[in-house]
Amino acid sequence: MAKNQNSRIRTALLENRSSVVNASLILVDIFTLSLAVLFSALIRMLLVPIMGGAINWPLIFKGLGFYVLFAILLAWINGLYPGFGLAAVHEMQKVLYVVSLASVFLGVFLFLQQLGMAYSRFVFLLTWFLSALLMMLGRFGLRNRLSRFVWWGIPMVIVGSPANAEPVIEQLIQNRRLGFRPVSYYDPQFNQTEPLVGVPVIKSKTALTRMVGDSSVQHVVFTDPVDDVQTFNFQWMRDVFPNILFVLNTAPFGSLWVRTVDLHGTLAIETNYHLLNKRETVIKRILDMFLTILMLLFTWPIFIILALLVRFDSKGPILYTQKRLGQHGKTFDSFKFRTMYNNADTKLDELLESDPEARQEYAEYHKLVNDPRVTPVGKVLRRYSLDELPQLINVVKGDMNLIGPRSYLPRELPTMGDYAKIILKVKPGLTGWWQVMGRNATSFKERLRLDEYYISNWSIWLDIYIIIKTIWVLITGQGL
């Protein structure tokens, strides 16, 4: 009985997936926006003894209703419900745009009602900031939780050769928050008969057409090179699927800020390497310095506590300096809290010589999960990345950026291969894309690929997203 009930619930969710997702997102947005208004008013009320004045609660609640209504309507118009296919940084952009425009509408509404002078400007500005922050966090949290269920996302058919389709399916499964859920796979050459990465195989064009007709699937992803479209008899696929995605799996450029251009009937693609642009570099440096100085002002007591812990944990200096590759391949002294014993290199050599598994692990990841060189306090510092706090000094000195690619060791330069040409064009970062996307689970080659992705797709929005993700990674202890 319970099994049949669960089956009916699952079927209902699958059939009404868009409505369920939209309702969930709208409820979260209403909650976070209302929370932003109420928190802002409450903070202002607590500051009355210092700032004077008073809080007009009836006006706050009246403004709250119109503000939330404006924001939800604008979010709907801007495609945030359900927002499938939006990268996290694009969703952040849209959220800030919606919140800003809703604030403008609220201001106009108050002005027309001749209530502008009665509404606290402090509450107005703080509401804008908290709305953007809480709405982003609420949506990220909701997508992270609900994307684990089968009814989340847009069902999609993957079409192409197994060699090209497999990595695309893996990426869609890993990046589940995007909402593109592969449900079936079709090999035009009929070479694949077994499920591909767990995705069922459709073995004939007739069966595929029938499946699409009997279901709600309206999207297909074509993974083979675009040139193959001419030889693939593309017309039948166009007739079956109203929405078609082409994967440019050999495109030598960043994908996040690509823009399509119509050259009078000919498709062209424009991309920009923002981080290699001098103006953008200056903007990034200003943002990094502002955030770094802010962090130093708030973390100096932590510096003192950690320095004492390192000093009494084991013999040796408090700070550990190591040569790292900086911009244009120039080396600099990177500062960290010491997390290893003084005879660390000897311990490592002995372990690698006696343990083949450790030797293989170190060769692939350039680090060890159970490293005998690390001190007891060092393990805690590494888990929460607190050992890297002194690198804020490197940021102030100009050796590093707050956010950027990993700072590589000089001995790793030969292993970096062609990636070194692009990665070493910019300053390394205290945190970065690979740190928040992979951490210690990524191989050395994957780190290089993620660093190249960051440089190719950089924007202020991507940096803000990395900062939010870094805070989450540090809180959960998913350290190096």
| Alpha-carbon span 112 to 114, nearest angstrom | 5
Q: Are 410 and 325 in contact (CB under 8 A)?
A: yes
| Alpha-carbon span 326 to 337, nearest angstrom | 20
- The pTM of the full predicted model, rounded to 2 decimals, is 0.75
Strands (DSSP E) contained in 146-205 are 154-159, 180-186, 201-202
Q: Are 259 and 269 in contact (CB under 8 A)?
A: yes
For residue 480, give both structure tokens.
Answer: 């190096």
For the stretch 349-361, pLDDT in tens is 777 777 777 778 7
Q: Grade residue 13 by pLDDT with cuts at 50, 70 and 90.
A: very low
Residue 439's pLDDT is what?
55
| Alpha-carbon span 168 to 38, nearest angstrom | 44
Whether 12 shows a pLDDT value over 50: the answer reads no
Least confident of 7-11, 73-77, 291-295, 435-439: 7-11
For the stretch 413-434, pLDDT in tens is 998 988 898 899 889 999 888 8
Whether 217 shows a pLDDT value over 90: the answer reads no
Whether 1 shows a pLDDT value over 90: the answer reads no
Per-chain mean pLDDT for the chain: 83
Whole-number percent of the chain with pLDDT over 70: 89
| Alpha-carbon span 63 to 57, nearest angstrom | 10
Q: Are 98 and 75 in contact (CB under 8 A)?
A: yes
Whether 144 shows a pLDDT value over 50: the answer reads yes
For residue 24, the tally of other CB atoms under 10 A from its CB is 17
Residue 434's pLDDT is what?
82
For residue 371, give both structure tokens.
Answer: 């490293």
Least confident of 74-78, 349-353, 390-394, 404-408: 349-353
| Alpha-carbon span 466 to 449, nearest angstrom | 16
**Angle between helix 88-112 and 460-476 (nearest 10):** 110
Burial status of residue 52 (CB atoms within 10 A of its CB: 0-12, 13-18, 19 or more): exposed
For the stretch 232-241, pLDDT in tens is 666 777 778 8
Strands (DSSP E) contained in 116-242 are 154-159, 180-186, 201-202, 219-222
Tell me the Ramachandran region of residue 85: left when phi exceeds 0, alpha when psi lies from -120 to 50, beta otherwise: left
Q: Are 305 and 381 in contact (CB under 8 A)?
A: no
Mean pLDDT of 387-393: 91
* Residue 86 three-state SS: coil
- Give the CATH number of domain 154-250: 3.40.50.720
In sequence order, which residues have a C-beta less than 8 Å from that of residue 195 and are 6 or more positions away?
A: 185, 201
| Domain residue ranges of the chain, discontinuous segments joined by + | 2-146, 154-250, 278-339+374-476
Angle (CA) 98-100-105 rounded to 5° is 90
Q: Both ends of the chain: CA-CA distance in Å?
A: 48
